[in-house]
Structure 1
């Protein structure tokens, strides 16, 4: 995806009025940056990778995709026109990918022989209309005043409809068969029209590409016919660096910014999300412009948003109106509303001058016909909604959970299954952390009650007992909430099972896992990618982590960080996973930590050579606890063996068994 094309597609009719760099207009700086995406036979949670009876991992290596394989024979040999569902977590780059597809087709290098017309629709904007015909829908995305509808629809098999953010409006897309519109000229409610396209009762031979958050898939699945699932996993490690060099046109600034972020492993990991990369670059650019030392210490997305909105944009300049702005955001969240009229703002005490301020900040964007406004990214609306909940301003409704203060409203807005997967909930955990509460008290010049936190943690603890954090991708959403709040007392008292099976697919998930595993004091054994010949008979307890990488040096460094904190882990089995010399060096550095308590290390068939043995030998004399090391089926050579023997002779060596 490294081919350079303009990010803003040519027929876009509205632009943000803010003079600052806009997320929508300058996103990716008019370049396509590498996104990782994976073709699945079903979305995570339906054919989860570990559902085999013997707990072996399904090998999905061959399903990593290129952009040209999104729609075409590379995906499937089936003949039916595809409905491709591009899904992922909030801010991961789904809409970016959708706009890239449209723009690449316009420039003639993608699907030019497959589709004669490609139409892009943002469902946030479609939700402004109550009724519409297919002809009117197409005209919305046609450059000229009058679209030749008959000619366009004469070959529906050559049409691609891109429905971006299909999950944003709270539409009922299922519809009964009798309600689905049979003809392109017929006026229907917008959700019925789109439901007809999804169900293939209208233009059954046309292709569809839709984007949605992973938490919305449960509701969308009944509306889809023969869907193909593509999960966006964000920026690769190299693409993060590429992004910085695209954002900063001055190479020296790019190097300074990237070096600064790379020194903060948690922040660098979070930059796999395009939205986070943009926020980070924007914050660093301001520091450069003000000739300040580059320093961005944020460890969580909540902390980063607080820094961006209140240290970069100075949103507190709204004064007492800021609280009204938060209440506007939470009202929209409760109602599934993302477009706000001037009257909506007035109802929350905000006038035209306040709207202009928010537009100039780049928090809002304007939609001229009819006049309305939306947050520049839905995550921003959810952040301010979470602030309203944290302030105690959210209107409580429903009685799903007695004595749960904040979550009464949240569970009325979100499905119980999706509650911890929603950014609003995740931000709320971060805002209720000690750091978050101190920041908000400074921003709003008031003292805030800490009574809301125990109620939220109680619900989270109950969810852990229910989920057991095994074989369920929903667990990642819960772990992300725990990571945002960084509450060690809560984590120490949470129930952790003796056996844990979990699959890591991104660096962000690895970051969440290493944070969580720090508190897994019941688990004494950890194995990476247990399978086949490396499965030990009788081993049923412990933690089993599954991942197919890519195993970069930074991936291993983060993984081995779990050895540097006091805990009960006694055995680590990496057998069957290829380790580079750099990875071995990171492992040995972690084993030398005074906090490490590891007694057994298994490195069977890890592709080790004599080049790794100097680090291993040095570690043997410095590890405070290692007593067993298994190096079978590695080509160490005579030189490697001699180096290890020298390590064994060191007086401080604790090793009792070497194989």
Structure 2
């Protein structure tokens, strides 16, 4: 049937197929020639009036990874790119697009259908073009006989019924020479680009089955049967999609998921050096982009690199360095203006750099495009057809003129073959123009696009701040944040400096300071009121566009000075801190929530930071089930570096664990270690964990459920996972289980301690059954003992603590006291500094006074911190986990976390106490289920 030519390409032969083989060969060559002619050029100025360049001269390699799953991500794509901009710290599998149908090492299952995800403008279509061109030119995939690119934006227009062969012949008339593509006769690849642009129902559940390539039916039925493998099961399928639309394909129909990440940092630099021939200018552009975090993040998107290069090349060449854009709004405002400049220079021979006035036709055209942008953004559409243009007053017969005038803003394509479709060059340009429409409707027509009215008197009273409030409210209501970037642009355009840039387009109203101040107050109010941490982060982006950064700047100052842990943070301060940490390009090795003192609401607002750390320590933060929904959302972040999550000693209960399992079940969750020790979990919660583990068995290696009450049956199910090779689980801890641990708080770990007279310094008096120690001026007559502190006023308890969890409380009377733990081998003799508890490697202590607290241990010597000063201190020790925590205990028994030391304990620990002054005492409190007694 086939032979290999001298270049390694699979060719059809005359035998055994004879004349049919020759026909197939001719058709293959004709299709290759057609695709090579179409794809060998790329237009950087999108639209058919743009400058054509050879694809090989412009193409910059993209960063593509094995995506792991088809998990749904509904976040706005700018949020996704902000996460992708973090420095990569996890091991990923890079992939070359020409190898996407090859199984990864260790995978035996053949790959039939590949889903490639990527946000708008990230390079999916260009990657499709690269693969097709390499095949057509004989450079790659030469074992493939036919490659059929069928973009969804074209398939949307097909209303008639077709057989598969008729549909292919419609796009490739060359195929009319053959009757059908037989199963097993050819290796065929179908490429469906742009699933997110699909307007077909893709009803996999109810569509009829079709296995005959010559049977006419709807295009929708053809697609679902091709994807399911009912039709041409031997064919290979490649589908590309934005992340939010990827779940339209049933996961069982997908064999492999890849993701286009766009440009990594070296590729960004490479792009600018290729695009800008003057290398000194290219270096200047690269340097400027790195100075603005928001601009540098967006450069992961190739289209944004092109927009930035277009703007900065002209501005820096023409000595407009003082006006170089630093925000997204400024960048896009300059981009629109530059297109007008280029158009006027080309068609009107104009020489002005800055167009002070747009012609009336230019203004009308851009505002009509802006209206189209807004209307389609509301509907969630990125591509439009003739009827959509007509609705906005755009004459489709003059579409070429629009494309020629603003070829970089709006593009007209004749489909892959005949039919015309329209779109903006990138979603962000659509969002920017939508904001222009909303602003001009308010300023020029006195209309609020979110609450239109025909009442003239009501129109006259409309203020810019009214539009802002409605826009903020609408954006906060959006489930997927589709108005987030639009809102940032709208608020940015409200600054006079940005309005002045667009003075020929947007109605000038004079000072907008008062409206903007009202908007800043409203945003601040919403930051305090809003419950979604993700939405709050975007509100900080909005404040940034308005130049209102005081709260964030204050938090940055405190963060750099190291004083954040010394004060109790309000919820809005926690949101500002989360914004700062998320905007950093660094991935945190560890995020310890206990470092900050705040309420549970404040802790919830810090939860998004989990998306950008490797190890999250949330233990002992008094979290409840209410925090678990936010946690579950964080666990479903694509490409998150988070691998270890410690939620110990929080009263999550079964309800919280069940909410958490929503995130654990997601294929996007790659947690390897989960600690739920002492979280009041019963059999019901453990059953939910077992179910989540079955749904997502490939990542979790360690699960700690100690000090809970899992029950025998569910504990057995989880234990069985250790022996099942389907699971990665290697370590399961269900020690210390039982109903007795289903009590709130740390006091369930209370232990009984007594002071050891053989260790007491001669100036210490023990009383109340060796439960109280007092430092007095009168020396006591104790016998000599090797364990006694002979110089410093210190004493230890008899009980050595190891292997488990312990909690005790002490009450001090006097100005100062040391409260700590020591190894038995700590030096007792002499008065040198290193014989104080906490001043050597064998001891740890909390120095308590009426003015505050200090933690003492070599390496963290005299670490001061604030907290509610109380005469009572609680100490929690988890020997196995290596945690030593101190709490301030109020008169009502409420615990406030002071400090936690994480280390490794290698010996039993003995509680100990010390004094600096006479007339001071420490009493070990008696703890029961109801209250604390001295």
Q: Same fold (TM over 0.5)?
A: yes
Structure 2 equivalent of residue 108 of structure 1: 138
> Which whole-Å CA distance do the structure 2 matches of 1:311 and 1:409 have between them?
31
Higher strand share: 2
> Which whole-Å CA distance do the structure 1 matches of 2:539 and 2:264 have between them?
24
Measured after TM superposition, the shift of residue 498 of structure 1 is 8.9
Could you give the per-residue CA deviations for residues 579-635 of structure 1, whole angstroms, max 9, x where no partner exists? xxxxxxxxxxxxxxxxxxxxxxxxxxxxxxxxxxxxxxxxxxxxxxxx99969xxxx
Residues 345, 208 of structure 1: alpha-carbon distance in 2 compared, 3 angstrom cutoff: same
Measured after TM superposition, the shift of residue 181 of structure 1 is 3.9
Structure 1 equivalent of residue 531 of structure 2: 465
Structure 2 equivalent of residue 246 of structure 1: 274
Structure 1 equivalent of residue 410 of structure 2: 364
In the alignment, which of 259, 262, 269 is matched to residue 231 of structure 1? 259
Could you give the per-residue CA deviations for residues 192-239 of structure 1, whole angstroms, max 9, x where no partner exists? 33233223332233222222212223x424476135222222211111
Residues 539, 43 of structure 1: alpha-carbon distance in 2 compared, 3 angstrom cutoff: farther
| 2:195 alignment partner, SS class | coil
Structure 2 equivalent of residue 213 of structure 1: 242
Measured after TM superposition, the shift of residue 246 of structure 1 is 1.6
* Residue 338 in structure 1 maps to residue 387 in structure 2: no
Structure 1 equivalent of residue 164 of structure 2: 134
Measured after TM superposition, the shift of residue 274 of structure 1 is 0.4
Structure 2 equivalent of residue 383 of structure 1: 432
In the alignment, which of 209, 213, 221 is matched to residue 184 of structure 1? 213
CA contact (8 A) 1:328 1:348 kept: no
Which TM-score applies when normalising by structure 1? Answer: 0.62
Could you give the per-residue CA deviations for residues 470-498 of structure 1, whole angstroms, max 9, x where no partner exists? xxxx9987876676666537979974659
Structure 1 equivalent of residue 506 of structure 2: 444
Measured after TM superposition, the shift of residue 447 of structure 1 is 3.4
| 2:232 alignment partner, SS class | coil
Higher helix share: 1
* Residue 123 in structure 1 maps to residue 144 in structure 2: no
Aligned 1:228-307 pairs, distance under 5 A:
228-264=256-292, 266-287=294-315, 291-293=318-320, 297-307=324-334
Could you give the per-residue CA deviations for residues 18-46 of structure 1, whole angstroms, max 9, x where no partner exists? 79997895597744323222223225668
In the alignment, which of 585, 591, 606 is matched to residue 510 of structure 1? 585
Structure 1 equivalent of residue 120 of structure 2: 90
Residues 374, 193 of structure 1: alpha-carbon distance in 2 compared, 3 angstrom cutoff: same
In structure 2, list runs of 5 or more residues that go unmatched.
1-34, 76-87, 344-357, 442-446, 453-467, 556-569, 589-595, 643-855, 861-900, 904-934
Could you give the per-residue CA deviations for residues 270-306 of structure 1, whole angstroms, max 9, x where no partner exists? 2221011101111233346x64355673334333222
Could you give the per-residue CA deviations for residues 527-553 of structure 1, whole angstroms, max 9, x where no partner exists? 985549xx798689999999769xxxx
CA contact (8 A) 1:28 1:246 kept: no
Residues 352, 81 of structure 1: alpha-carbon distance in 2 compared, 3 angstrom cutoff: same
> Which whole-Å CA distance do the structure 2 matches of 1:434 and 1:149 have between them?
65
| 1:210 alignment partner, SS class | strand
Measured after TM superposition, the shift of residue 79 of structure 1 is 2.5
In structure 1, list runs of 5 or more residues that go unmatched.
1-7, 49-57, 514-519, 550-626, 632-656
Residues 503, 347 of structure 1: alpha-carbon distance in 2 compared, 3 angstrom cutoff: closer
Aligned 1:371-410 pairs, distance under 5 A:
373-392=422-441, 396=450, 405-406=470-471
Measured after TM superposition, the shift of residue 242 of structure 1 is 0.9
Structure 2 equivalent of residue 348 of structure 1: 393
Structure 2 equivalent of residue 202 of structure 1: 231
Q: Which structure has more RCO (C-alpha within 8 Å, separation ≥ 6)?
A: 1
Structure 1 equivalent of residue 190 of structure 2: 161
Residues 236, 332 of structure 1: alpha-carbon distance in 2 compared, 3 angstrom cutoff: same
CA RMSD of superposed structures (Å):
5.4
Aligned 1:14-29 pairs, distance under 5 A:
26=53
Residues 59, 364 of structure 1: alpha-carbon distance in 2 compared, 3 angstrom cutoff: closer
> Which whole-Å CA distance do the structure 2 matches of 1:499 and 1:251 have between them?
39
> Which whole-Å CA distance do the structure 2 matches of 1:147 and 1:371 have between them?
24
Could you give the per-residue CA deviations for residues 137-171 of structure 1, whole angstroms, max 9, x where no partner exists? 433553x6445554644438722222111112333
